[in-house]
């Protein structure tokens, strides 16, 4: 099958209800350039701000990232946010998941141990990830299945540690991506458009990029081909792309989004939104190259993964400004 980059170009060429706008592409590139010049964006870590994420460049952090990226999907609610309060700070969405993992580890629950979560039950999963309001995390049963399946595979194939999978990739992002897709079914994020198989691999790619970002491109996080990783097609980054005009939706799609329509994973609208988002970020990267935007050697390169981090963070930092832009609602384990 085509990889995400090739799939995205194909989808963009066939899209009916989603279009990539070059004027908007230039606006995003200009904003990233401005943020770099002002210091608002410093690409020397995988996130812009301080979150309950691992900071130690060690083996335990690799297992931490594997668990959180295995569960990195579907946090939205109809009426409020999935949220966790940790040390007096309220986190939402993916960061709430991270806070829940941190909270569990601080309580002595070995949630990052494959031997533990391979045999976990739904009551324990519910307790670990229950929101601060006492509500279960969305897709609780699916998360249980992913944890048990992933733990079983790690124990049977990789001696209980994702690090051992990482060691087999020969410092190649694509080899690691292929190892993840080959061995862990829940990461196989693909679809069909006009009878052609296309891939997105959101969670698998973000796992690769998270390891690269945490280790700042060194040691086990050194991938000679990290630039082959695309952005991570979800339901939040497209909001930022729409905000800047880099993406445009048809009237029909806009009406569906405005009515809080529930899309199905793999339907044409969803495939077009995700594919065109990836393609738009590839065009943004090319625009930044043409602008000769340079990053000093001690910082991570401005590749598609880093552009994704910027766009995702922009949506979080300016959530009120983007509130009027609806996101596509999908219940899926892939994002």
Q: How confident is the model at residue 23 (pLDDT cuts 50, 70, 90)?
A: very high
- The count of domains in the chain is 1
Does 234 qualify as catalytic in the annotation? yes
Is 90 a member of any domain? Answer: yes
Percent of the chain with pLDDT over 90: 83
CB 100 within 8 A of CB 129: yes
Whether residue 324 is contained in a domain is answered as yes
Q: Calculate mean pLDDT across residues 132-151.
A: 97
Vertex 222: Cα angle to 299 and 220 (nearest 5): 125
Of residues 311 and 295, more confidence is placed in: 311
Q: What is the pLDDT of residue 48?
A: 42
Query: Is 138 contained in some domain?
Result: yes
Residue 11 near residue 198 (C-beta atoms within 8 A): yes
For the ranges 55-69, 232-246, 300-314, the lowest mean pLDDT is seen at: 300-314
Which stretch of 159-163, 187-191, 285-289 has the lowest confidence by average pLDDT?
A: 285-289
The domain in which residue 184 lies consists of 4-330
Structure tokens at 70: 């295995």
pLDDT band at 308 (very low <50, low <70, confident <90, very high): very high
Q: Evaluate whether 207 touches 69 at the Cβ level (below 8 Å).
A: yes
- Is residue 316 in a domain? yes
Model confidence over 246-302: pLDDT tens digits? 999 999 999 999 999 999 999 999 999 999 999 999 999 999 988 876 555 455 678
Query: What is the C-alpha radius of gyration for the chain, rounded to an integer number of angstroms?
Result: 19
Dihedral of the alpha carbons of 170, 175, 176, 182, in degrees to the nearest 10: -130
Residue 321's pLDDT is what? Answer: 92
pLDDT digits (tens, 9 = 90+) for 71-86: 999 999 887 889 999 9
- What local confidence, expressed as pLDDT, does residue 54 receive? 79
The sign of the CA dihedral 114, 118, 121, 125 is positive
Determine which helix (DSSP H) or strand (DSSP E) holds 190, and give its type and residue range: strand 190-193
CB burial of residue 170 (10 Å; 0-12, 13-18, 19+): exposed
Do 290 and 221 touch, CB atoms closer than 8 A? no
Q: pLDDT (tens digit, 9 = 90+) per residue, 164-175? A: 999 999 999 999
Catalytic-labelled residue, pool 69, 189, 234, 308: 234
Residues 289-316, mean pLDDT to the nearest whole number:
79
315 domain residue, yes or no: yes
Rounded to two decimals, what is the model's pTM? 0.92
In a domain, 244, yes or no: yes
335 falls within a domain: no
Question: Residue 203: in which H helix or E strand, if any?
Answer: helix 202-214
Over residues 97-112, the mean pLDDT reads 96
C-alpha span between 129 and 226 (Å, rounded): 32
Determine what percent of the chain is predicted with pLDDT higher than 70: 95
Whether residue 49 is predicted with pLDDT greater than 50 in this model: the reply is no
Cα 277 to the center of its chain, rounded Å: 13
Residue 134 phi, psi dihedral angles, 5° rounding: 85, 10
Answer left, alpha or beta for residue 320, where phi above 0 means left and psi between -120 and 50 means alpha: alpha
Measure the CA–CA gap between 160 and 110, rounded to whole angstroms: 13
Full 3-state SS string of 225-286:
CHHHCCCCCCCCHHHHHHHHCCEEECHHHHHHHHCCCEECCCCHHHHHHHHHHHHHHHHHHH
Calpha distance 229→169 (Å, rounded) = 15
């Amino acid at each position: 099958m085509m990889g995400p980059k090739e799939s995205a170009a194909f989808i963009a060429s066939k899209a009916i209800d989603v279009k990539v706008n070059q004027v908007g592409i230039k606006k995003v590139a200009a904003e990233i350039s401005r943020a770099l010049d002002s210091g608002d964006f410093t690409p020397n870590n995988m996130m812009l701000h301080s979150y309950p994420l691992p900071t130690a460049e060690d083996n335990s952090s690799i297992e931490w990232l594997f668990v959180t990226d295995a569960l990195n999907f579907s946090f939205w609610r109809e009426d409020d946010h999935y949220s966790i309060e940790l040390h007096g700070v309220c986190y939402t969405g993916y960061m709430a998941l991270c806070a829940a993992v941190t909270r569990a580890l601080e309580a002595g629950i070995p949630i990052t141990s494959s031997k533990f979560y391979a045999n976990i039950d739904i009551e324990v999963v519910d307790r670990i990830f229950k929101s601060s309001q006492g509500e279960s995390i969305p897709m609780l049963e699916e998360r249980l299945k992913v944890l048990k399946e992933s733990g079983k595979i790690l124990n049977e194939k990789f001696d209980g540690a994702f690090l051992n999978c990482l060691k087999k990739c020969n410092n190649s992002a694509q080899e690691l991506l292929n190892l993840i897709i080959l061995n862990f079914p829940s990461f196989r994020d693909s679809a069909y458009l006009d009878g052609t198989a296309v891939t997105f691999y959101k969670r698998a790619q973000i796992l690769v990029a998270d390891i690269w970002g945490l280790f700042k491109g060194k040691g086990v996080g050194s991938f000679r081909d990290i630039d082959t990783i695309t952005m991570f097609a979800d339901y939040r980054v497209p909001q930022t792309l729409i905000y800047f005009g880099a993406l445009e939706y048809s009237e029909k799609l806009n009406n569906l989004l405005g009515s809080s329509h529930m899309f199905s994973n793999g339907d044409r609208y969803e495939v077009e939104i995700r594919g065109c988002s990836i393609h738009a970020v590839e065009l943004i990267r090319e625009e930044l190259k043409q602008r000769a935007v340079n990053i000093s050697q001690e910082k991570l390169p401005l590749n598609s993964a880093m552009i994704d981090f910027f766009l995702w963070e922009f949506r979080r930092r300016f959530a009120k400004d983007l509130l009027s832009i609806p996101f596509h609602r999908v219940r899926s384990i892939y994002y």
